[in-house]
Amino acid sequence: MCRWPCKPGYVTLAVTTGIRMHPGCPNPAMQDQKEAGVQLWLSAPQIDWQYMMKLGPQAQDKWEDYGAELVQQAVQAAQAKGFPLQGKPEARMDNVFVAMHSVSTCFYPGAPMKHCAGAVMLAGVVDGSFGPIADAAAAPRPLMHVLAALDGQTRLPRAAWTAARLAPLAAQFGARHLATIRPFAVIAGMNHAQFSNGVVNTARGDLPPDVPLATQAEAVAGQLAAFVAANHPAATPETSHHAVEQLMQTTAASFELLSPFCEASGRGSPAALLRTGATSSSDPAGDELAAYAMGAERLPAFSPGRNGFGHPGELAAAERFARAAQQHMLAAGLPAGADVAAVRVAVTVHISLDTFIYSQPTIFQVDGPQGPQWVVQCHVHPKWEYYEPGMEAAAKPMSPHYLLKLKKGGVAALAMGLEGGSDGVVSAADINADSFEQALTASPALFVDTYRQRGKQLSFAADKDVSSEVKTPVDWMPMPFTFEPAGDGGLALCAPCLSTPAAKLPHYDRGPGRFTGNHYIKCPSPAWMHEWIAIESLRRA
């Protein structure tokens, strides 16, 4: 138990679970608290991790009960030393905040959410991964997230998705208020372990930090101090001004850092939403931006019943990727001078692998506004290895890769009665190299510089033809990507591919025509590329 000194004023308690605060860090970070007239007490109860692991992740109610016990013990210990509790533990404690680290964020749906003045997630997010609360935007009381840019356990995709879910609130009641009650911080150079004892857990994928523990602990303490100063019940605009300004700047910088990944994954731009500021909820621009952030989430194997859902923005991103790939395929095989844009590309996005396997790319003609128009239908299945059963899946990238069934331009030429078509295709390697370069261009300098200095450099080997390993074209390619050593010490990603020959047939949307002139490939999604640059390349180094 410790107290951070300041002039007499409002007294509040911060209970930290799963955290070991560096002993020298609080005092330099307390200027906002002093100016706000807040005396901040700190209590760090010890968690019995063996007991929690014995309960197992499915015993959420027991985890919540245990978390409530820890909070109550901390409050009682503080009261014994003179802490003036406002309220009651079984109702609401107006001057008690709880900070939770990593898996201890599972305590949030219990006492921290129901009975405390506010909560802080350290190296963890409110997204339903641990516990039933999946919507950070709907938290009934102030909720802060503090995450680390080099966290190899609670990885950046979860941070980005949570930021994308919170950001629409800015379009409803203003950026400054969002930053007050839902502040968000991503600390550069910090890893998962630096919220705790500083020992890097490489077995779980954590990464070595770039900044000393004492410096990072001070940064975390400063965020906690600002959050409490801005949200304790006695706060006024005058007393909390500096704290809110700090939260606003940190939230804006963190949203800027995460927005390129969010956009690549189809979830819109948290930074753009924050910039909508105090515009009303009827603002068309704000509503349009917010639409990309909403929708059903994909959750880890702890929630297998919900694994069939896909975020609509992610599905739209898959559709855009497949359409571009199919257009490149048409351009590679149609005769010179053919108008590729005149061919309409239709994309079916499959959440189910079975519907994808039993679907084939087709070509058919429809009546359009300007007369008959040719349509090429292709198929894409976003595959999230991270959500597959088994703990080993948790080490996989969190972003999907795409399974693609495309139609060759040469067979489109046959269907359209054009001479001079070819059997040419666009390789997955070419598509992937282009996608990776776009990700490097869009990624923040912080991530790109760290990737260049510390990460496994990624290149793309020629596609591997697996036709001889697949029984019939009806079957899908079960072969995964492979990573081969590259000459520069990096890794070369090799994707499987399979082609069927083109032939002149009366129809390409039924019978044998469905299997004629097809090309199957696998490609990492743009979000996967961003994830490689920011974190995955470092985990493999």
> pLDDT means per 10 residues in the chain (541 residues)?
42 74 46 57 85 79 90 91 90 92 89 94 86 85 97 93 92 92 97 90 92 89 91 87 95 98 93 75 50 50 48 90 97 91 93 92 90 94 85 86 97 94 96 98 98 97 93 79 92 96 94 95 98 96 88
Residue with tokens 């390789």: 427
Q: Report how far apart, in Å, the C-alpha atoms of 150 and of each of 262, 303, 447, 470, 538 are.
A: 17, 26, 9, 40, 9
pLDDT of residue 391: 75
Q: Rounded to an integer, what distance in angstroms lies between the CA atom of residue 121 and that of residue 376?
A: 48
Cα–Cα distance, 251 to 398 (Å, whole number) = 23
Strands 38-43 and 2-4: antiparallel
Tokens of 130: 């641990």
Q: In whole angstroms, what is the distance from residue 264 CA to residue 262 CA?
A: 5
The answer to whether 524 and 459 are in contact (CB under 8 A) is no
Separation CA 114–CA 142 (nearest Å): 11
Quick one: pLDDT at residue 416? Answer: 94
Number of Cβ within a 10 Å radius of residue 469: 13
Residue 104: other Cβ atoms inside 10 A:
28
Residue 294: the pLDDT is 53
Residues 187 and 148: their CA atoms lie apart, in Å, by 5
What is the structure's pLDDT at 360?
Answer: 96
How far is the C-alpha of 63 from the C-alpha of 17, rounded, in Å?
Answer: 13
End-to-end CA distance of the chain: 40
Q: Return d(Cα 192, Cα 197) in angstroms, integer.
A: 10
pLDDT at res. 24: 45
Question: What's the sign of the alpha-carbon dihedral 519, 520, 525, 528?
Answer: negative
Is pTM beyond 0.85? Reply is yes
CA 93 to centroid of chain Cα atoms:
33
And the tokens for 70?
């820890």
Strands 93-101 and 10-17 come out as parallel
